[in-house]
Structure formats: C-alpha cells, structure tokens
Amino acid sequence: MVGNGMAGMRTLEELLQLAPDAYDITVFGAEPHPNYNRILLSPVLSGEQTLEEIVLNDRDWYATNGIALHLGKEVVKIDRVQRRVIAADGTVERYDRLLLATGSTPVILPVPGKELPGVITYRDIADTDAMIDAAKRFRHAVVIGGGLLGLEAANGLRLRGMDVTVVHLMPWLMERQLDRTAANLLQASLEAKGLTFRLEAKTERLVAGESGRVAAVGLAGGEMLPADLVVMAVGIRPNVRLAQEAGLHCDRGIVVNDTLQSFDPRIYAIGECVSHRGSTYGLVAPLFEMAKVCANHLAQMGIGRYGGSQTSTKLKVTGVDLFSAGNFTGGTDTEEIVLSDPANGVYKKLVLKGDKLIGSVLYGDTVDGAWYFKLVREGRSIGAIRDRLMFGESNLGDTGHQGQMRAMQLPDDAEICGCNGICKGRIVAAIKDRGLFTLDEVRKHTKASSSCGSCTGLVEQILMATAGGDYSASPKQKPLCGCTDRTHQDVRDAIREHKLTSIPAAMAFLEWRTPNGCATCRPALNYYLISTWPKEAKDDPQSRFINERAHANIQKDGTFSVVPRMWGGETTSSELRRIADVVDKYAIPTVKVTGGQRIDLLGVRKQDLPAVWRDLGMPSGHAYAKALRTVKTCVGSEWCRFGTQDSTQMGKDLERALWRMYAPHKVKLAVSGCPRNCAESGIKDVGVIGVESGWEIYVAGNGGIKTEVAQFLAKVKTAAEVLEYAGAFLQLYREEGWYLERTVHFVSRVGLDYVKKKILDDASERRALWERLQFALDGEPDPWHEPERASVDARQFVPLTPVSTAAPDRAATAVSAA
Amino acid sequence: MDGSRAHASAPTYTSVCPLSEVPRLGARVIERAIESGGNVAVFRTAEDQVFALADRCPHKGGPLSQGIVHGDRVACPLHNWNIRLDTGTAVEPDEGCAARYPARVRNGLIEVALDGGIQIALDGAIVVAPDGA
C-alpha cells in the first residue's frame, strides 16, 4: 500500500478482520509518523490534544499484524509491467495487489513570494509543528482561505496567542458549507474570540522582511497585512502524480469503479486521491465506506459496491456549534424553513424539495444535525412531520436529559446516557483513547446510547465534535446483525418468497456467517418464520429471549415476575383471593399495580413458576413478551356519567381476540369510552376512543422513550368493525414490521398513507389481513396451562442435582468435553 | 493443557444428568448455596459440547443459564454481554470473567468438577482438550 493515512489504514484493518492471512502487507508512508487521525490536527494546534493522543496505529500495531512498514519513504515510481514500486531511497517492493492511498496535496497560490520561509500549508504534522513553533516566536499570522481548514488553523493560532487575520476571496466564510446568514453569525463569534477578517480580498503578493522570512501579505487594492507566518488553506487537490506517471487513467483524481479498482484491476485506489463517478471526497465517512468495500473486494468476498456518499460538515472550533449537510443553498424548485434567533445565536435552515429534506444548515444549536443528515441520506418523505421538523427530533419527546440540547456546552461530568450512567467525559475519553469513529463503536466501548437509545443525538454530537468533521451515523442498508450482510427486509422477503420454515434453512439460504447466529438474529429469524408461516414454521424456544422461553419476566436478581391476565383490566373477588393466596403460599415479596391495569407479582423463583400458574388459574399475561401486552380500558358507559360507549367490554373483546399474538415488538392497546380519554388511547399502538356515533381508531402511538401521539386511522360504527380494523392494522405490522420495530417506527417507515391504502381503501385487503390474523391465532395454546402443546420445556423449571461422585480421573486433563 | 496444570491435582468430576436433559443451544442450573460457591450453569452447544460456568455474569450478576446460547458463547439475559463458554471471559470490549468449572461427557452423562471454579486470567490461554485426552 502506498500511503499511510486514515483511508488506507482503515482498508487494511477491515481486510485483516476479513482475511488475516490473505496477503503479506507492506506499507509505504512519506511522513515519518505512523497512521494518525488527521482530522484531529486542529485540536493539536489549539493545544487541546497532543500528537501522541491522535495516533491511530502505533508501530507495535504494524508489527503485531505482520505488516512491513516503510516510514519516511516516498514512493516515486510504479512499475506496472514487473509489478513493483520504487521509493525515493531506492527501496523496491513487489506486489500482487497495489493499493494507492496517496491522499491529497494542498493548493498553493501562484503569487510572488509563495516560496518564502514562514509560508506554509496546513496538511500534516510537520505543518502543525511549524505553526506551533511560529506561535512561540512571532506575533502576526495571516491565514489565506476562510474555509473549514483555514478557520480551524486561525482559531488554533489565536489560541496560541498570535494576532490572526483571515483573508478570504469570497463574500462570506465557508461559502461551500454555509449560507450567508449562518456565515455572518460564525464570523461574529470568531471576531469575539479575537480573529480579524478581510473578506472579498485577493492576495496579490507575499513580501519578505529583512531576515528573508515573510513579513507581510499584500492584498489587491494595496493594503499590506503584517505577517510573520502565512498559512495557505485555499483547498486541496487529489494527489494523482504517481498514478498519472504510471499511466493510470485520472481526471481530478484516480478514476475508480464501484469496487475501487483503477483501470489496472490489480491496482486499487482509495481515499482523497480517487475520483468516483465524477466526485472526489475529503471527509472521513465516505473514505471509510470506500475502505469497507475495497477490503471486501481484496478479501475476494466481492459483494460490496460503493455507490457514492453524501457528506456533512462540522466545524471543530471549541464553543462554536455549526453543522451543514446536503444541498443547503436550494434552487428554484426548493422551499426553505428558517428559524432565526440572533439574540440567542441560533440559526437553522432546512431546504426541502417536494416532501423530502435535501439539506440543512444549523448554527448555535446542532443537536439535530445527525437526525437531519439521516433524513437527507434516506430521502424519506417528511410530509407527516413537516410542521414539527424545524423543532428537531428531540422535540418529539426525548425523556431523561432534562431537555439538554447542546452536548458541547455540557461539562465533562454531565450524564449523557441515563440508562447506563455514562457521563460526557467518559465518552470523550473513549473516542480519543481508542480512536472511535462510529456510533456503533462508541456504543460497544462505552455502552452510551446502547440501551434505550434516547441519548443517541447527544452521543452523535459528542462524536462529531471529538472525532471530527463527520462520521458514519448508520449505513443506509443496515445489516440485521454481525452474522450477515442482509437487512431485516432482505430476510423477511427471502423467508416469504422461498418458503423458508426453519432457522437452519433460513441461515443456509441467506449464507449466514456464523453456525447458529447470535442473540440478535435468532429471535428475529424465529419471529419472521412463525409470523410468515403460521402452523408451518416450527417455533424454536432456544431462539427466544428468556421471557418468552420461560413465559415470565426475568428480574435483575434472576427471579421472575408473573402478571396474571385480567381481561380489559377488570377482575373479580375470586381472582383477587387466588392472587392473595399465591402471594402468601410462595412468599412472593412484592405485589405491584402496573400501568397497564394489572397486578404484578415480583420475585417468584423460577422453580415455583408452574405451581404459581396452576394455583392462579389465570393466563400469566404475556406481560414480558414481544406480543400483545394489555388492553387498558376506562369504565365506560356501564358506570361513567360521561361514557358514550361500553369501552370495558370493547377492551375485553379486543384482548380475547388478540391475546397470544406475537409481534415484532410489544403491542399495547387502550379503549376509552369518551374523548376525555381516561385510558390514554392517544399513546398506544392501537387506541380506540368511543364517541356518541361510534368509535375512533388511532394507531402508532407510544408512551415510552419518545412520547408519540397516535395518528387517526378511521372512524367506525360498530364493535365488530373495531376488531376488524384494529386486527388488520396489527396483522399488517406483524407481516411487514421489522423485529424490534414498534408500530410508531413501522408507520413512520412505510408511511400512514400506505397503511390507509391497505386498510381503508381496500375492504377485501382489510378483511384478508384480519382473517390471516385469526388463522394465525386460532388454536394457539396457552403456555401457562397447556405447556406441552405450547412446547414449553418443563426441564428448565427443575434444578439439576449432582447424583454421584465419579472417581478422580488422573488421565483427564481435559477442561471440557469436545 | 496448561490451564489445568495450574490446578494442583486432577479435578474430581461429579455426574450431573444425561446429556439429553440439557437442550441443544440451552442450559440447566445446578443449585448451590452462595457459601458453597453459588449456582452453576451447564451449557450444551449445537455440537454437543458441554461447558459449566458460575451462573453469574461478571457485569451485574445476571443468570447466564437463562441467556441465549450461540456458537461457543452465551448472551447474558440482563444486558446482553457475551460470555465465552470455554473460558468464562467476556467478549471484547467488555471485560470480566465468570468462574469456570471443568465439564465433560462420559457415557452419555454430563460430569462437572464442582470442587472450586477455575478463574482464568484475562489473557490466560486455556487449552480445550478432546474428550478422554
């Protein structure tokens, strides 16, 4: 590999994971340093981090992985005929496959004086060192170029005590990333930090002082700016010289195909030096996407294709929150939603085309940057949330963060992840120390945002600000888990189209990489099989989470809780007596009334479960399963002076019709007898509200991490229609939802219009869905009282007792039976 | 081999139950008082290997016996840590180790050496020898 930078090294890391022994690897690097995080040069310049902290792969890493490393050796020639590369010092290495990762070189303005001492660019460690050194000895610095890099350099030099003037050719700063309003806000805040600006200013010449070092910058119009240091940050261009001289086809960069091969198929190119479908990239996320594809192809697992990337920008200047993505300037066929609050220093612009978000600029409050960027990349219809779009994802109701929006203004000890108790400082430290780049990596290493996920936006902000420029939020096509590259949709489709009815058959057909999956994919596969082929696919208890295997809810101490099913939330004295007797007989420590109008018996020992169920004589309630949980009701017209409909009976009917219904995730229903809505139907997966003239049906509400108000689906007249419509909606969700996707996310993915088309516009489709649900549930056993029919493994409730002592086996050194 | 050499004498195996009494990709529990070392989980893989670990996840003490067994690992039911069955160690980047008990199959019976679990150092290389080695 030629080039020891981030893109190339990422490719090698991916390759070593896929096929550690496929190649003997040699790396040439022109710089005398091992691979470091170039994005973090700015924090090094500003003194917030040290050089050691930004090294990604130290020399030991190369040695450990058997990689021969030539540092400080620039490759000057590729001999394609004899397949070898030659370095400036005469080193020669042969190759079977060559990977060019030569990066880019800074553009140098063709002005007089450009070669003077004290005139540098901003690209590598040597430049950074030169700036740090100059800041110690000199006073005046001029940065030419008011783009991302130029401003970071200017900020760093200012923090090191220099008087810095930024000279920019264009009318406003970062014109490729910002619109004029945001740029003006940025300029004002940088001026407050002590920077000076000359906009629409053209550099004409650099003038030397008595020492021979640069002393001033001459602008068109005659102004002279004092300058002991001049940093040119006017752009980069792909470094293609080596490839060009070797006769490889180049335009702006080395031209590559979707598998990152140049016109010589033995030679791959990756990173800033390539031109892919006419685009060049200078940000880290697209380079890492390329690395994945390239490594895949090098490992001869040629299934990946690189299809180009969209990019976003985040400025790394401490105290300035700035984010832009996509097309934020708009055009004649676009619309803009703008929020401007100058006193608070907040400016947000969203650019929409039709019902899609195509770009955004955020200044001051960037908490939703990652979310907007995701919407831009996914090209999702935002019609339904357009009125709330500007107020961001967190405005849709995140809980647990005291409404905190701006991660970078938080102190290090501020708690970010309320589930796992992870504070900001720990996340920042993990990102820096371990060189993390993606949300997934941060989740793995710190657990932050890995539980309920509500702090994802905050963690993404910290990641952006700490790891730099941008990062991969999540690939467009997210694989189901690490055992496969297939998505949830791929798996669902294959199971349906090819009539797969067992987990081994599905894994074999879909080329699973692991022999029997993992704790993520097996429950998903099991659900897809039984929901797609009811009565045909065989349920696999060992592929279900413990709650669905033991039919009770595991607690932190390994005991279980039992929630007897009380239909519609109504109970009787006889049931209550039995519950009380069971609590006494089995010494159950806690009895708790739940939010779903049930009674929870907590702390039941596993071996007592069968007897507890028997004594209760009530189904235990699926109160723990990815299934119908409860139907909550108000008392309704039977007792309530406001009630218009018999909501309790409706709830009981729904619960009797739908219990034993497994689903992609838990399902909660509620029925209220009037619009006062005492059963909270507005935040349920299916919420029914009685009115004088019938029933209103709402779907896809949620009262959890994000409070989501259910959306109106239909108004019907009779109880039978409520069953049919609600059942049809739930069956659609059961057939098309992804495992662990709540109805709210399912509906937001497929669109409410699609749901309406299936259920309202087409009566035969609705009836067919409802019939399929009834077919699936017909005859399904009650696992608490028909354990054998429900294939509950009764052995799990019986502890093992060691029976006899075998004689010590002197011959056996085995620690395990093979 | 090296792992068990650290053990002064050969382990004393106790017969626990027929192999068929533990479901494939599943586990059973040997109940023991805390003062005797606590519960032991006995696992069976898809290939009928058996392993025994203290039934306590090194993270927050979750009962590993109740987790989903996959490959040679078990996912803790409480917070989804993955624990290697052969060593008891947590899969990176998580860190920690559940005590491990030698286990084997003899004449269709699962046998576990319950006299004191072996704690493997995080970097400890333990060799899994074939049955009867």
Same-domain check for residues A355 and A455 = yes
Does A146 map to a domain?
yes
Instruction: Annotate A532-550 with b (16+ C-beta within 10 A) or e (fewer).
Output: bbbeebeebbbbbbbbbbb
Q: Which of A101, A94, A97 is nearest to A79 (CA)?
A: A94
What confidence score (pLDDT) does residue A686 get? 97
Rounded to an integer, what distance in angstroms lies between the CA atom of residue B68 and that of residue A462?
33
pLDDT averaged over chain A? 88
Does A811 map to a domain?
no
Q: Tell me: the pLDDT tens digits for B21-77? A: 999 999 999 998 888 889 999 999 999 999 999 999 999 999 999 999 999 999 999
The confidence band for A813, taking pLDDT boundaries of 50, 70 and 90, is very low
Q: How many CB pairs lie under 8 A apart between chains A and B?
A: 162
Rounded to an integer, what distance in angstroms lies between the CA atom of residue A468 and that of residue A42?
9
Query: Which of A194, A210, A234 is the last residue in one of the domains?
Result: A234
Residues of chain B in contact with residue A551, where contact means CB-CB under 8 angstroms, are: none
Same-domain check for residues A142 and A212 = yes
Does B95 map to a domain?
yes
Q: Tell me: the pLDDT tens digits for A206-238? A: 999 989 999 999 999 899 999 999 999 998 889
Strand, coil or helix: what is B74? Answer: strand
What confidence score (pLDDT) does residue A773 get? 97
Q: Could you identify the residue written with the tokens 């619109």?
A: A179
Q: Which residues of A touch B (CB under 8 A)?
A: 444-445, 451, 514-519, 522-523, 541-543, 545-546, 549-550, 554, 556-558, 793, 795-796, 799-806, 808-818
CB hemisphere CA count around A782 (13 angstroms): 15
Same-domain check for residues A248 and A211 = no
| Interchain pair A816, B15: CB under 8 A | no
The confidence band for A409, taking pLDDT boundaries of 50, 70 and 90, is low
- Residue of chain B minimizing CA distance to A434: B93
- Residue of chain A minimizing CA distance to B82: A519
**Residues B38, B48: contact at Cβ < 8 Å?**
no
Highest mean pLDDT among A67-71, A191-195, A462-466, A726-730: A726-730
Q: Which of A86, A87, A84 is nearest to A97 (CA)?
A: A84
Distance from CA of B131 to the nearest CA of A (A): 5
Rounded to an integer, what distance in angstroms lies between the CA atom of residue A468 and that of residue A549?
45
Does B119 map to a domain?
no
Candidate from B12, B28, B86 with C-beta closest to A805? B12
> Is pLDDT at A457 greater than 80 in this prediction?
no
- Residue of chain B minimizing CA distance to A559: B63
Q: Tell me: the pLDDT tens digits for A460-505? A: 778 877 776 444 444 456 789 989 989 999 999 999 999 999 999 9
Rounded to an integer, what distance in angstroms lies between the CA atom of residue A406 and that of residue A461?
8
Does A802 map to a domain?
no
Residues of chain B in contact with residue A802, where contact means CB-CB under 8 angstroms, are: 14-16, 30, 112, 114
CATH of the domain at A165: 3.50.50.60
Does A70 map to a domain?
yes
Residues of chain A in contact with residue B67, where contact means CB-CB under 8 angstroms, are: 519, 546
Strand, coil or helix: what is A303? Answer: coil
The confidence band for A748, taking pLDDT boundaries of 50, 70 and 90, is confident
Candidate from B46, B50, B61 with C-beta closest to A516? B46
Residues of chain A in contact with residue B70, where contact means CB-CB under 8 angstroms, are: 514, 516-519, 522
> Is pLDDT at A413 greater than 90 in this prediction?
no
Does A816 map to a domain?
no
What confidence score (pLDDT) does residue A475 get? 47
Q: Across residues A363-383, what is the average pLDDT?
A: 80
Rounded to an integer, what distance in angstroms lies between the CA atom of residue A600 and that of residue A207?
82
- Residue of chain A minimizing CA distance to B59: A556
> Is pLDDT at A450 greater than 60 in this prediction?
yes
**Residues A16, A291: contact at Cβ < 8 Å?**
no
Residues of chain B in contact with residue A818, where contact means CB-CB under 8 angstroms, are: 49, 128-131
Highest mean pLDDT among A4-13, A382-391, A459-468, A476-485: A4-13
CB hemisphere CA count around B25 (13 angstroms): 22
Q: Tell me: the pLDDT tens digits for A690-735? A: 999 999 999 999 987 778 899 999 999 999 999 999 999 999 999 9
What confidence score (pLDDT) does residue A771 get? 97
Strand residues in A159-209 grouped as ranges (E): 163-167, 196-198, 203-208
> Is pLDDT at A316 greater than 70 in this prediction?
no
Residues of chain A in contact with residue B131, where contact means CB-CB under 8 angstroms, are: 814, 817-818
> Is pLDDT at A285 greater than 80 in this prediction?
no
Candidate from A546, A801, A815 with C-beta closest to B4? A815
| Interchain pair A809, B10: CB under 8 A | yes
Does B70 map to a domain?
yes
Interface probe for A, chosen from B66, B82, B105 (most Cβ of A below 10 Å), is: B66
Rounded to an integer, what distance in angstroms lies between the CA atom of residue B42 and that of residue B63?
12
Query: Which of A180, A209, A234 is the last residue in one of the domains?
Result: A234
| Interchain pair A806, B23: CB under 8 A | no
| Interchain pair A554, B77: CB under 8 A | yes
**Residues A236, A123: contact at Cβ < 8 Å?**
yes
Rounded to an integer, what distance in angstroms lies between the CA atom of residue A807 and that of residue A793?
32
Same-domain check for residues A697 and A775 = yes
Residues of chain B in contact with residue A427, where contact means CB-CB under 8 angstroms, are: none
What confidence score (pLDDT) does residue B127 get? 32
Q: Could you identify the residue written with the tokens 């005659």?
A: A222
**Residues A739, A488: contact at Cβ < 8 Å?**
yes
What confidence score (pLDDT) does residue A544 get? 95
The confidence band for A759, taking pLDDT boundaries of 50, 70 and 90, is very high
Does B123 map to a domain?
no
Q: Which of A460, A443, A447, A453 is nearest to A400 (CA)?
A: A453
What confidence score (pLDDT) does residue A180 get? 87
Does A19 map to a domain?
yes
Residues of chain A in contact with residue B80, where contact means CB-CB under 8 angstroms, are: 519
Highest mean pLDDT among A114-123, A271-280, A456-465, A646-655: A646-655
For B92, the domain range is 2-112
Same-domain check for residues A537 and A564 = no
Question: Based on the structure, what is the number of domains in chain B?
Answer: 1
| Interchain pair B12, A803: CB under 8 A | no
Does A478 map to a domain?
no
| Interchain pair A808, B12: CB under 8 A | yes
Same-domain check for residues A221 and A329 = no
| Interchain pair B68, A545: CB under 8 A | yes
CA distances from A623 to A41, A522, A662 (A): 53, 21, 12
Distance from CA of B99 to the nearest CA of A (A): 13
Same-domain check for residues A640 and A781 = yes
What ipTM was estimated for this complex? 0.84
Distance of CA B42 to the CA centre of its chain: 6
| Interchain pair A814, B102: CB under 8 A | yes
Rounded to an integer, what distance in angstroms lies between the CA atom of residue A712 and that of residue A721?
15
Residues of chain A in contact with residue B71, where contact means CB-CB under 8 angstroms, are: 514-516, 518
The whole-model pTM stands at 0.68
Q: Which residues contact B69 (CB under 8 A, 6 or more apart)?
A: A542, B25, B26, B27, B43, B44, B45, B85
Helical segments of A39-147, H only? 41-45, 59-64, 125-137
Interface probe for A, chosen from B2, B4, B5, B13 (most Cβ of A below 10 Å), is: B13
CATH of the domain at B27: 2.102.10.10
What confidence score (pLDDT) does residue A479 get? 86
Rounded to an integer, what distance in angstroms lies between the CA atom of residue A329 and that of residue A342?
20
**Residues A736, A492: contact at Cβ < 8 Å?**
yes
What confidence score (pLDDT) does residue A482 get? 87
Strand A322-326 to A335-341 pairing: unpaired
Taking residue A330's Cβ as centre, other Cβ atoms within 10 Å add up to 17
CATH of the domain at A697: 3.30.413.10
The confidence band for A346, taking pLDDT boundaries of 50, 70 and 90, is confident
Question: Based on the structure, what is the number of domains in chain A?
Answer: 6
Does A110 map to a domain?
no
Q: Which of A46, A43, A35, A39 is nearest to A13 (CA)?
A: A35
Q: Across residues B92-103, what is the average pLDDT?
A: 90
> Is pLDDT at A337 greater than 50 in this prediction?
yes
| Interchain pair A542, B24: CB under 8 A | yes
The confidence band for A440, taking pLDDT boundaries of 50, 70 and 90, is confident
Does B47 map to a domain?
yes
Same-domain check for residues A780 and A663 = yes
Highest mean pLDDT among A306-310, A342-346, A729-733, B86-90: A729-733
Same-domain check for residues A537 and A556 = no
Candidate from B29, B75, B86 with C-beta closest to A800? B29
The confidence band for B124, taking pLDDT boundaries of 50, 70 and 90, is very low
What confidence score (pLDDT) does residue A809 get? 46
> Is pLDDT at B128 greater than 80 in this prediction?
no
What confidence score (pLDDT) does residue A685 get? 97
For A602, the domain range is 545-625
Residues of chain A in contact with residue B130, where contact means CB-CB under 8 angstroms, are: 814, 818
> Is pLDDT at A401 greater than 50 in this prediction?
no
Q: Across residues A791-808, what is the average pLDDT?
A: 79
Does B122 map to a domain?
no
Taking residue A656's Cβ as centre, other Cβ atoms within 10 Å add up to 12
**Residues A462, A367: contact at Cβ < 8 Å?**
no
Same-domain check for residues A573 and A671 = no
> Is pLDDT at A816 greater than 60 in this prediction?
no
Q: Which of A710, A662, A707 is nearest to A686 (CA)?
A: A710
Q: Tell me: the pLDDT tens digits for A681-694? A: 999 999 999 999 99
